[in-house]
Amino acid sequence: MTFDPRTIATPVFEVLDSLRSQDAGNTERLKEQKKQAVELYTYLSTWGMMRLKAEEKALNQEGKKQVVKKFFECLQDLSGVQNLAGDGGLMLLKKLDIDEYLGLTGLGLALAQEFSFWATAIYSGIEGDSN
């Protein structure tokens, strides 16, 4: 089987482009989205998949929360692990065996790199920090 890198790039491009279009008039929300998308890889590599999933519920900024939700939706679609994106995703991660969890984390890191790359391209012109 041949791996096509567009398998990861295409859904990330589509979800970020959709979020950008959906919130086109809300500069603060766009800043939040861009910042979160760029920071996903660092967060995931530092804190891990379970912590990122738990953080999804704790996020107060809607733009950041949207990106994390879309990240888990993409990860669910790419991995085939059902119910990852839903409310039971944290319990599901907790119950995975170590090989499945590490494999999912590896795929998540590759996906997070795509989010960072595409955020820079899709959100060009959106500058400044959003807390």
pLDDT at 131 over 60: no
**Architecture, CATH, for domain 6-121:** Orthogonal Bundle (1.10)
pLDDT tens digits for range 55-87: 999 999 999 999 999 999 999 999 999 999 999
Confidence label for 130 from pLDDT (cuts 50, 70 and 90): low
Q: For 38-42, 89-93, 115-119, 127-131, which range has the lowest pLDDT when averaged over its residues?
A: 127-131
pLDDT for 53 beyond 70 = yes
* All structural domains of the chain with their residue ranges: 6-121
Output the pLDDT for position 127: 83
In this prediction, residue 50 carries a pLDDT of 97
> Per-residue pLDDT tens for 24-45?
999 999 999 999 999 999 999 9
Identify the residue with better confidence: 106 or 131: 106
Tell me the pLDDT band of 4, cut-offs 50, 70 and 90: confident
Label residue 2 exposed, middle or buried (CB < 10 Å: 0-12, 13-18, 19+): exposed
